[in-house]
């Protein structure tokens, strides 16, 4: 019963964060899922399914603002490299993957704390789309966190706030469909996952609803800083 309570609470908080800031579901839940779910593979599988569910709700509500034209090249390379990363995971131990996750959490947190919005233009060119897609694919495949490179890309490419949020959620929906197929192929799906997903999905409904109401009231920067500091602590714990 305790595991269902944790999943529900974490999904609620993570969907709130994603609805307010446009990303962050995987970053938040992956600080906790690998430490109380049986395997790392189940953790990334559940994170991706719930993240995609949250993104789908937002994308459907804002369908007309999605910029499909800027997505195809990044999506293509993301899918390719996420497949390779997922295959690579099958040969690694849970402990090693948790340590890799810890390093990734710390690096992402430090980057966003000190360099966010300072290097965005470097990521907006067409040649950079291949790099963005590839890096995001590795992060999505191994850590269920494809968001940070995509955030930089969308921020530097899109000026309208609605287009930014909607396109970012569309990325998440499309990519998580492929991630789920790849993870199912390598055996990350378990009999317990459907029940976990149902409980988590109920949490995402609440979190996304609250996030939509608070979208204009909460400072994105304050929310992000708190999440990034928690990421650093969780990263250190994962490594140690």
Phi, psi of 158 (to 5 degrees): -115, 135
Domain segments of the chain as ranges: 2-239
pLDDT, tens digit, for every residue of 94-151? Answer: 677 777 777 877 777 777 777 665 555 555 567 778 888 888 888 888 877 887 778 7
Strand, coil or helix: what is 223? Answer: helix
Give yes or no for residue 212 having a pLDDT over 70.
Answer: yes
Nearest to 3 by CA among 41, 45, 54, 38: 38
Q: How far is CA 17 from the centre of its chain?
A: 11
Nearest one of 198, 211, 213 to 50, comparing CA atoms:
198
- Give percent above pLDDT 90 in the chain: 29
Q: Is the pLDDT of residue 214 over 80?
A: no
In this prediction, residue 208 carries a pLDDT of 87
Buried b (16+ CB within 10 A) or exposed e, 137-147: bbbbbbbbbbb
pLDDT at residue 210 tops 90: no
Mean pLDDT score across all residues of the chain:
82
φ, ψ dihedrals at 119, nearest 5°:
-125, 10
């Amino acid at each position: 019963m305790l595991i269902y309570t944790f999943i529900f609470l974490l999904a609620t908080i993570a969907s709130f964060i994603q609805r307010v800031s446009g990303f962050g579901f995987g970053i938040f839940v992956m600080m906790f899922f690998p430490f109380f779910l049986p395997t790392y593979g189940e953790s990334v599988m559940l994170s991706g399914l719930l993240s995609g569910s949250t993104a789908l709700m937002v994308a459907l509500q804002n369908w007309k603002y999605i910029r499909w034209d800027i997505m195809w090249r990044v999506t293509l390379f993301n899918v390719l490299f996420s497949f390779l990363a997922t295959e690579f995971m099958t040969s690694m131990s849970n402990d090693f993957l948790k340590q890799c996750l810890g390093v990734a959490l710390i690096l992402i947190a430090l980057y966003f704390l000190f360099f966010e919005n300072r290097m965005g233009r470097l990521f907006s060119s067409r040649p950079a789309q291949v790099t963005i897609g590839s890096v995001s694919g590795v992060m999505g495949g191994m850590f269920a966190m494809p968001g940070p490179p995509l955030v930089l890309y969308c921020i530097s490419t899109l000026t309208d706030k609605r287009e930014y949020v909607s396109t970012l959620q569309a990325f998440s929906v499309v990519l998580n469909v492929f991630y789920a197929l790849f993870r199912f192929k390598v055996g990350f799906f378990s009999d317990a996952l459907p029940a976990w997903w149902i409980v988590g999905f109920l949490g995402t409904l609440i979190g996304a609803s609250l996030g939509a109401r608070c979208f204009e009231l909460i400072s994105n920067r304050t929310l992000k800083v708190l999440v990034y500091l928690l990421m650093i602590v969780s990263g250190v714990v994962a490594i140690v």
